[in-house]
Chain A
Amino acid sequence: MANTKSAYSFAGKKQKFDTHIIVVWVDNEAGVLARVVGLFSGRGYNIESLAVAEVDQKLNISRITIVTTGTPQVIDQIKLQLKKLVPVHKVADFKREDKKVIFKEMALFKLVGNKNKLDKAFTACKKYNPVILDKTNKSKVIQITALRREIDNMTGNLKKFGLVSVSRTGAVAMTRGEKVFK
């Protein structure tokens, strides 16, 4: 035993981490995001990305989408702990590999350069539903929607076409087909 001077038990074996997308429906009230995020930081859970906005103006319901990693036991704890919070209505959990669920992130790229470069940049984005939001002779703002890793790759690829600024959201998720998570 490495260190016998601890009053606490030793950490068990390291387990494999999975990536999960946790969707939480909450009352849109003061401090609710702090409660959710504080639960993650206080109990040592990871947050890879987070997206939140009100989705029902009448009932004041916000939908929080959190991408997190953890062992199956930790993921279970995250769900159960979230469900204990008073403003939380329901919690859904999807594995990132889950084919029945769509995940999307949005990114805005600002590129500065000559027309040739800017056109090439737009072509490079073709796969990810590019929209030109702003255009001058020397610059372009392009919006794409894609997966996290795809956006990671694009930010690398676009460097050579004059990428000067990136702004991106956390992932949002929606199940495929007619089924709705209850």
Chain B
Amino acid sequence: MSKLYSGAEIVFKCLEEEGVNHIFGYPGGAVLPIYDELKNFKSIKHILVRHEQGAGHAAEGYARSSGKPGVVLVTSGPGATNAVTALTDAYMDSVPLVCISGQVPTHLIGTDAFQECDTTGITRPCTKHNWLVKDIKDLAKTMRKAFEVATSGRPGPVLVDIPKDIQFQKTSFVRHKKKIKLNGKTHNHFSQNNIDELVKLMNKASKPIFYTGGGVINSGPKASELLRELVRATGFPITTTLQGLGSYPADDNQFLGMLGMHGTYEANNAMYDCDLMINIGARFDDRITGKIDEFSPKSKKVHIDIDPSSINKNVKVDLAIVGDVKTVISSTLKHIKKTNLSFTRSNKQKISKWWEKIQKWRAKRSLDYIGSEETIKPQYAIERLYELTKDKDAYITTEVGQHQMWAAQHYKFNKPNRWMTSGGLGTMGYGLPAAVGVQVAHPKKLVIDIAGEASVLMTMQEMSTAVQYSLPIKIFILNNEYMGMVRQWQELLHDKNYSESYTAALPDFVKLAEAYGCVGIRAKTPEELDDKIIEMLNTDRPVIFDCMVDKQENCFPMIPSGKPHNQMLLGPKDQKNKKITGKGKTLV
């Protein structure tokens, strides 16, 4: 008779098998047996958060910066419901998470027991799959499948709900090396014909553009390398989505910047005017397309994606290539090198006119803003932060709002996995716990959460986690005392009726930092900004940086939603020159 292991032990044995080193969690009645076993597994370190949502976002930050799945451990009832926001966030942004939740003992399920909730029912629409383990014999199999589902194909969150009695029960456990097969759901579904056709289209195009997204990052660092090779070989311009930042070096001349609602003038106009759009691992989100009927009307569209349901969901495409970005790009490169040696030269001449046009758009300098000597402009703050940290291989997380868009516009990313932001769900309060997770994965690296004062207060309690584990995260708050993006929409679309978007009673962030046992720094003028940022960077402890910025500043350029890409609203400088007054408003 082989040795018998409890359900709690099997959970950890499976985590060991998957090479998990860190879990983010919060104990409670229904997971106590699992927590009891923690001490016997030295290779797994538990990070105690202050709220289960924080555990989820920390695991997301961990996953996105390391490429490994994030693991969350929460108790039943409120533990599980608090994790729902993070699970939904991970589902929208395709982040691999494995959430283990405790459940009341099987004989109490359905009786409205203390801290009971229908966890699998609640999380069904916000996970790729979830399981309620009702038989101890299924536990190991389920845990393995959970990791497989979370990390294969288009990654995403899964949840395993384990009743307390199952955690106590015993069964045998056999180590398992072989991967479970998943009904062939993860395979590449493209053929050489697809690649031939793609290269043919690329050959014919005179106004091509690459539009790349988070799928490139999710496909691994190799995919980003291959993308660079492909873009250089073709000479085509490239724009990336919010989630794709870092997959292509932002300071490269072929990079047009981010596209979409707050994307650059050149990126959006190029998307509108192009004759060939090659979408690699992006999903035609509504913040990208604007008005769908007028989205890039003159182009042939190619869509490369691992998720077949992303194809033709929002925008009909002419060529669909279902597969892993890395594999598709590598096949394409091989094809170009093998059969089309002259391709690169002849094509570059063909598209030179296109580049001239793009340079004209570029000359608009759509990210420019009107500087100030008295107040810190938020764009200036990001620019300085970038200049002072660009050689430090920094990892940047953000909350959600104006600061997020300014960070995306003005912080230049050159490597994948350095940029963690909540794009799909737009979760305020994402950045601080995500920074905790990133710092856990990369203890020696510089991790900065570019934050807004409203967002950061939603998960501020996780500063306590950062202090407990000596995680020197830097919370860089662009403090304008408003929910800035809400205020901006109210200014532009609701006749300046600033309904409930001003926070009249904010905490003193410097004192708050001190109360948490970390360091608080405040910058009030552009003059002192650099010194204060350097002070922050030289502090080897968690820092809350209260950067008091211009309260009125708006985030431009902007495509007012429901408008096509070629009808952008540019910044105040441009508006003044064009004297857009009454008419400008109808643009919005």
Question: Which residues in A have some Cβ–Cβ distance to B below 8 Å?
Answer: 1, 4-10, 12-13, 30-31, 34-35, 38, 42, 73, 76-77, 80-81, 83-86, 89
Distance between A11 CB and nearest chain B CB, rounded to angstroms: 9
Assess A9 versus B309: contact at CB under 8 Å? Given A1-B562, A4-B493: no
B95-145 residues with Cβ-Cβ distance < 8 A to A are: 120-121, 124-125, 128-129, 132, 134
Assess A9 versus B313: contact at CB under 8 Å? Given A1-B562, A84-B307: no
Residue from the list A5, A77, A84 in contact with B185, Cβ < 8 A? A84
Q: A6-B562, A77-B312, A80-B311 are in contact. List 4 more A-B contacts (CB 8 A).
A: A10-B562, A31-B124, A42-B125, A89-B183
Which one of B236-244, B283-291, B499-507 contacts A? Answer: B283-291
B286 touches A8 (CB 8 A): yes
B489 touches A80 (CB 8 A): no
Does B561 interact with chain A (Cβ within 8 Å)? Answer: yes
CB-nearest residue of chain B to A87: B129
Assess A12 versus B293: contact at CB under 8 Å? Given A4-B493, A7-B561, A83-B308: yes
CB-nearest residue of chain A to B182: A86
Give the top 7 A-B pairs by smallest Cβ distance, nearest first: A80-B309, A86-B129, A10-B562, A42-B125, A5-B493, A9-B562, A80-B308
Assess A73 versus B121: contact at CB under 8 Å? Given A6-B562, A7-B489, A8-B562: no
Give bound CA distance, A73 to B129, whole Å. 25
B291 touches A84 (CB 8 A): no
Does B467 interact with chain A (Cβ within 8 Å)? Answer: no
CB-nearest residue of chain B to A42: B125
Residue tally, chain B, CB below 8 Å to A:
33
Question: For residue A31, which residues in chain B have a CB less than 8 angstroms away from its CB?
Answer: 120-121, 124, 132
Question: For residue B493, which residues in chain A have a CB less than 8 angstroms away from its CB?
Answer: 4-5, 7
Question: For residue A4, which residues in chain B have a CB less than 8 angstroms away from its CB?
Answer: 493, 560, 562, 586, 588
Question: For residue B124, which residues in chain A have a CB less than 8 angstroms away from its CB?
Answer: 31, 34-35, 38
Distance between A74 CB and nearest chain B CB, rounded to angstroms: 10
Question: For residue A76, which residues in chain B have a CB less than 8 angstroms away from its CB?
Answer: 312
CB-nearest residue of chain B to A11: B292
Does B494 interact with chain A (Cβ within 8 Å)? Answer: yes
Give bound CA distance, A83 to B153, whole Å. 13
Distance between B255 CB and nearest chain A CB, rounded to angstroms: 26
CB-nearest residue of chain A to B154: A84
Give bound CA distance, A64 to B307, whole Å. 24
CB-nearest residue of chain A to B132: A30
Give bound CA distance, A6 to B286, whole Å. 13
Give bound CA distance, A1 to B587, whole Å. 11
- What are 9 A-B interface contacts by the 8 Å CB criterion? A5-B493, A6-B562, A10-B562, A12-B292, A34-B121, A38-B124, A77-B312, A84-B309, A86-B128
Question: For residue B309, which residues in chain A have a CB less than 8 angstroms away from its CB?
Answer: 77, 80-81, 83-84
Distance between B168 CB and nearest chain A CB, rounded to angstroms: 22
Candidate in A6, A35, A85, A86 with the most chain B CB atoms within 10 angstroms? A86
B156-210 residues with Cβ-Cβ distance < 8 A to A are: 182-183, 185
Does B223 interact with chain A (Cβ within 8 Å)? Answer: no
Candidate in A9, A30, A83 with the most chain B CB atoms within 10 angstroms? A9
Report B465-502 CB contacts with A as 1/0, cut-off 8 Å.
Answer: 00000000000000000000000010001100000000
Question: For residue B456, which residues in chain A have a CB less than 8 angstroms away from its CB?
Answer: none
Does B149 interact with chain A (Cβ within 8 Å)? Answer: yes
Report B277-312 CB contacts with A as 1/0, cut-off 8 Å.
Answer: 000000000100111110000000000000111011
Question: For residue A83, which residues in chain B have a CB less than 8 angstroms away from its CB?
Answer: 185, 308-309
Distance between A87 CB and nearest chain B CB, rounded to angstroms: 8
Give bound CA distance, A8 to B426, whole Å. 14
Give bound CA distance, A31 to B493, whole Å. 44
Question: For residue A9, which residues in chain B have a CB less than 8 angstroms away from its CB?
Answer: 286, 289-292, 561-562
CB-nearest residue of chain B to A30: B132
B291 touches A10 (CB 8 A): yes
Distance between A16 CB and nearest chain B CB, rounded to angstroms: 16
Question: For residue A85, which residues in chain B have a CB less than 8 angstroms away from its CB?
Answer: 129
Distance between B226 CB and nearest chain A CB, rounded to angstroms: 26
CB-nearest residue of chain B to A80: B309
Distance between A40 CB and nearest chain B CB, rounded to angstroms: 11
Question: For residue B489, which residues in chain A have a CB less than 8 angstroms away from its CB?
Answer: 7
Give bound CA distance, A26 to B134, whole Å. 20
B490-538 residues with Cβ-Cβ distance < 8 A to A are: 493-494
Give bound CA distance, A169 to B586, whole Å. 53
CB-nearest residue of chain B to A88: B183
Candidate in A34, A73, A77, A84 with the most chain B CB atoms within 10 angstroms? A84
Question: For residue A86, which residues in chain B have a CB less than 8 angstroms away from its CB?
Answer: 128-129, 149, 182, 185
Give bound CA distance, A54 to B309, whole Å. 27
Question: For residue A8, which residues in chain B have a CB less than 8 angstroms away from its CB?
Answer: 286, 561-562
Give bound CA distance, A4 to B290, whole Å. 13
CB-nearest residue of chain B to A86: B129
B313 touches A77 (CB 8 A): yes
CB-nearest residue of chain B to A10: B562
Distance between B289 CB and nearest chain A CB, rounded to angstroms: 7
